[in-house]
Amino acid sequence: MILMYHKIHPEVKSMWWVSPDSFYLQMLDLQNKKVVYLDDYDASDPSHCVITFDGIYENVWKFGVPILQHFGYPFELFIVGDLMGKGNEFDAGEPPARFA
């Protein structure tokens, strides 16, 4: 199982956002899985799980990383270098968010 997240914030503004409480509960549910890095992922092993973030928004650092650290889970970050420190104005219809 590969999980992909975009934004974590107390105010869930669209389907691409998850609240910290919901994220915590989802991470809690993974305690019976083996959370691994993508390079170590074995799709044939049903106990394997990878946590990924597509586009690293500031809110991931603020709300998601502390939860991941609490559980000691590894995670993958997919960074778009040209967007670092910029907003997501290009994403029509999506609420404003800044990239880390």
pLDDT tens for the 100 residues of the chain, in order = 999 999 999 999 899 999 999 999 999 999 999 999 999 999 999 999 999 998 788 889 999 999 999 999 999 998 777 777 777 777 888 877 777 8
Distances (CA, A) of 70 to 28, 38, 39, 74, 80: 10, 20, 22, 11, 26
CA distance 86 to 78: 15
pTM of the model: 0.87
Q: What is the 3-state secondary structure (H, E, C) of the chain?
A: CEEEECEECCCCCCCCEECHHHHHHHHHHHHHCEECCHHHCCCCCCCEEEEEEECCEHHHHHHHHHHHHHHCCCCEEECCHHHCCCECCCCCCCCCCEEC
